[in-house]
Chains A and B, each alone.
Chain A
Amino acid sequence: MSNKLMHKQQKVYIVDGSRTPLLKARGQVGPFTAGDLAVNAARPLLLRHDFPLDAFDEVIMGCMMPGEREANVARVVALRLGIPQTVPAWTVQRNCASGMQSIDSAWRNIKYGDANLILAGGAESMSHAPVLFNHTMVNWLGAFMKARSTGQRLKVLSRLRLAHFKPVIALLYGLSDDTVGLNMGETAENIANCFNISRQEMDALSVSSHQRLAHAQDNGLLEEIEPMYDKHGHFYDHDDGLRRDTSMETLAKLRPAFDRKYGLVTAGNSAQITDGAAWVILASEQAVEQYKLPVMASIEDTQWAGLDPAVMGMGPAHAMAPIMQRHQFAIDDIDYWEINEAFATQVLGCLKAWEDEDYCKNHLGLNQTLGRISSERLNIDGGGVSMGHPVGASGTRIVLHLAKILQRTNARRGMASLCIGGGQGGAVLIQNAA
């Protein structure tokens, strides 16, 4: 440990980044696997820089559900991108923050001098989440494979029942927490209950999310999106989950999605299930000089936090607080915030927690409240509710977009954070490099 601390810490820059449009899963398997998405997002990014690809020390990628042919999908993607075989690649998982974990891992490796240039990002093809055979079926198949003679086979065949065909939907299990026996929507209902958040408040945030995304699309504020082309002559150039007709009225009509009878959380005030990928190039000062790289922002700090899985959506409040404390920041020291909208209620819960004396004292270990994060400075170009939350990619997406916002507004600091199924939070503090 002392070794690392003794080492002179290097500054870590975000050089550039790109992402795919986020494509809403529409009950069909989408046109791209996680690997395809990652390749499509990275190709234009690598194309516009002229450093040799073997300049990368490694490729790190977050992904929860790679395609069935994509074991260690980061390596698959790196090779498909034409990055030389000598450059190692690894895949990271921290559930909903997998795309932030890759940035954190890259940041640490550069900071402590183990690397100079890293391609970090994440991808998720939620629409490709597998549908599996259940265990009875797997066992039956095993028995069938072992049967040698026709008689044996017939015997095994006779044991086959309709129940064997009941599928296991991996996505449903992926989006629930077996340690506490709750799915993610139920944990959001818990937060609504704790903080007394109303359906109207949730829906209002959701309407605003759609309006902000529409504004951003109309004004070309999402320049990190690279168009994606499928094999059939179509292209995708915008986040297609946006519903411009979303209003309090349309949202009010929706039924609760999780607590069916008395719940508040609906499909309309939750993040959409989408496919997407995002990348950033992270570089040390040395790499920036050597390859004459532009710089957008520097990564100043990161934090992970653990909390009760039953209210996992409070993760951002827990992960951002230590950063605020460590740097002795007041709310106004941060110019822009990105808190991933897994559920509208969970973002609202985090905001309320920082204003709540009891929560700050007893759950965050602070002497006083942190204060109110202005809605004008939070998720200003929309978020998960309007564009979706491909779990492997969202972490990279919000850090990249925050850097773009700092550039665009000439602002100084930004903080990106997200909640993590299983009861964690992650946060990244960045600073404009201009």
Chain B
Amino acid sequence: MSNKMTTKQADNLNHWKLRYDENNIAWCHLDMLDSRANLLSVAVIEELNSLLEHFEKQLPQAVILLSDKNSGFIFGADISEFTPLETQQQALDFLHRGHALMNRIEILACPTVSMVHGNCFGGGTELSLACNYIVASDDASTKIGLPEIKLGIHPGYGGTVRSIEHCGPLAAMNMMLTGRAVSSRAAKKIGLIDECVPLRQLKRAALAFALRAPARKPPRLLTRLASHALFRPLLASQMRKQVGRKARPQHYPAPYKLIDLWQHYAGNRTRMLEQEALSVASLTTTQAARNLVKVFFLQTKLKDQGKKTDYKPAHVHVIGGGIMGGDIASWCAIQGFSVSVQDQSPERLAKTMQRAQASFKKKFKRNRRAVRDATDRLIPDHRGDGITRADIVIEAIFEDVAVKRELYQSIEPRMKTDAILATNTSSIKLEDLSDCLQKPGRLVGLHFFNPVALMPLVEIIRGPQTDEQVVARSLAFGKNIGKLPLPVKSSPGFLVNRILMPYILEAVTMVSEGIPAEIVDKAATDFGMPMGPIELADTVGLDICKSVALILSTALGMALPDNLDTMTKANLLGKKNGEGFYKYRNGKAVKNKNVHSDNIQQVQDRLILRLLNEAVACLREGIVEDSELIDAGVIFGTGFAPFTGGPLNYIKQHNKENLQATMATLENRFGEKFKLDAGWELV
């Protein structure tokens, strides 16, 4: 085939390459100029338009779209092009350009095939859906999705209409509302794509569709019925209920708009397409969407922290097989690293391995080989033999300076000369540990959050003695295990715990003042927190909260509420032993629904302002490099309401004077803990 292939170098093509084969099939290769990944940018759309214009004049046998990038198919629209859109009209014009392209592909008189290998998101998926056929490789890297909802919008290039046409409203809405990408196998199952084959067959499969142009099977009757006007209101209300559990309309309007769109216009294709563009245009300009776009770029910014050097340790050794150490070890094994995990006895390691097995099953489901391989990569090591082989040793034992120092002194002589020693301490300063080492520069903090598998952030703690190369390598390691690495200066509580702690302590204090825990938590979730501070404290464990709080209270002069002490002494430790501030039944907090408060606003102010004030203090002290990294750390480390764009962004977007005035009122009433930090000037 390739020997007969002719390349037509059309004029002014920067991003696309057009080749014809002997069947007169036009293969359109996308290879976006100066970009690692393909994006559906304005320029890419324009060029594809010009190609289509050419095809309309000289119709080929068929058109096949494919990517020349190793990184995947198309990652979606170029989000940076959203930022300058200020008015709804501008947004609408922008969207219409995409709509026009999709329609043009759809009505092209020859068969069109999208050939997908690797990631295919957002606009990439919408482009594919506008083609007659989608064939995809069954490679693990192939993921297809419409993740727009995560950016506070929904698909806006006709994706809502076409995805529902392909796989019915239930599967399509589920995909759009969660923003979750699916494997090509799952995509085939729900009817999103037409064929899922091994990579070696992908071209032949695309060719077969292009040449034979088989009729597409319509979705099943039951699936189609779900879109019937009669059932839509009921289904829509179900969807709203489901979304309501995760997101509130005042915080995240996009999912609700998407449901409305479907409910009201699903009966009329043309109108739904029109309304889709209007709906997205109105969303793009919302504060929430702008902030979520910001958060998206913060994520990229964190990943970039890990790209300054490339570092992939051949072997990772974790000391401490408890919940944190064990979870770090199994996470690294899941990510493909060879890992040994050390604990004092086989008894303890047996528990570690059991827990790891559960993580592997959760991650890989019924993929027996993947579970086996991860199990094989995770080596229980009660003697600590892995220390000699390791390129990075992660210490995750209990928080005791003397014990840690003793451990470091005993293991350092066995470590490779350039191996990194990382501690998962959440509260001990690196300076207090490093001076026992021959090479203090090798010690770095690698602060993971619980549960390791779910929390995206890792704080990379730089002590004054830490080598720059060690920091750079640790950041790269953090990125390579699929986490977001955040470089943080060594100081009490680092960034995340320090900002979180005043907020939790204030919550605990309020409960001791007699305000029901349910009210305190509601004030926080009303603000947009994923979980209230009291329930969070219970989940983390009150003993752990107390120990972190103790360290911070001495270092930063925070007062420790009495009830934290009395409860831990009474062995009320939270979720893990069934009772803390709440009682737990089947792992769920039992909450009293009949509690009321006339001043929930003040509760919320007390919580949020202490958090904001501490974030400001961290900015002033330069705990991380800039205010964006504070926002990133707090969002990815605590789940802090992402639609706000982070605590400092929240201050910037709200009336600073008002916030400061509220602080002053609270200071009058509750004392010095509400004293305005000097750093507010800097925000």
Q: What residues of chain B have their CB less than 8 Å away from a CB belonging to chain A?
A: 338, 340, 346-347, 349-351, 353-354, 357, 372-373, 375-377, 379-383, 385-386, 388-389, 416
Contacts and interface: CB of A to CB of B under 8 A. Distances in A.
A229 B380 contact: yes
A76 B389 CA distance: 23
A237 B346 contact: yes
B375 to A, nearest CB: 8
B372 A44 contact: no
A233 B354 contact: yes
B354 A232 contact: yes
A50 B389 contact: yes
15 contacts: A39-B376, A44-B381, A47-B379, A47-B385, A50-B388, A50-B389, A229-B346, A229-B350, A230-B353, A231-B357, A232-B354, A233-B350, A235-B347, A235-B353, A237-B346
A227 to B, nearest CB: 4
A288 B234 CA distance: 75
Interface in A218-237: 227, 229-235, 237
Interface string A31-55: 0000000010001100111100000
Contacts of A48: 383, 385, 388-389
A218 to B, nearest CB: 18
A82 interface: yes
Contacts of B340: 47
B350 A234 contact: yes
Main secondary structure of the interface of B (DSSP, over half): helix
A237 B380 CA distance: 13
B351 A44 contact: no
Contacts of A231: 353-354, 357, 375
Nearest to A237: B346
Given A47-B340, A232-B354, A233-B351, A227 B389 contact: no
Categorize the interface residue count of chain A: 10 to 19
A47 B381 contact: yes
B354 A44 contact: no
A342 B536 CA distance: 61
Given A44-B379, A227-B380, A227-B382, 14 more contacts: A43-B376, A47-B385, A47-B386, A48-B383, A50-B416, A80-B376, A227-B346, A229-B349, A231-B354, A231-B357, A233-B351, A233-B353, A234-B350, A235-B347
A175 interface: no
Interface in A223-259: 227, 229-235, 237
Nearest to B351: A233
Q: Which of B380, B382, B383 has the most CB of A within 10 A?
A: B380
Contact of B373 (A43, A50, A80): A80
B29 to A, nearest CB: 32
A47 B375 CA distance: 15
Contact of A47 (B346, B353, B389): B389
B388 A235 contact: no
B347 to A, nearest CB: 7
Contacts of A39: 376
Contact of A229 (B353, B386, B416): B353
Contacts of B349: 227, 229, 235
Interface in A105-143: none
A422 B383 CA distance: 42
A229 B343 CA distance: 14
A291 B625 CA distance: 45
A233 B326 CA distance: 13
Contact of B376 (A49, A81, A233): A81
B478 to A, nearest CB: 23
Q: Which 7 A-B pairs have the closest CB atoms?
A: A233-B354, A48-B385, A235-B350, A227-B346, A229-B353, A235-B346, A231-B357
Q: Which of A43, A82, A229, A237 has the most CB of B within 10 A?
A: A229
A82 to B, nearest CB: 6
B385 A44 contact: yes
B448 to A, nearest CB: 23
B345 to A, nearest CB: 9
Interface in A87-109: none
Contacts of A230: 353
Contacts of A50: 388-389, 416
A19 to B, nearest CB: 15
B379 A43 contact: yes
A82 B354 CA distance: 22
A400 B388 CA distance: 24
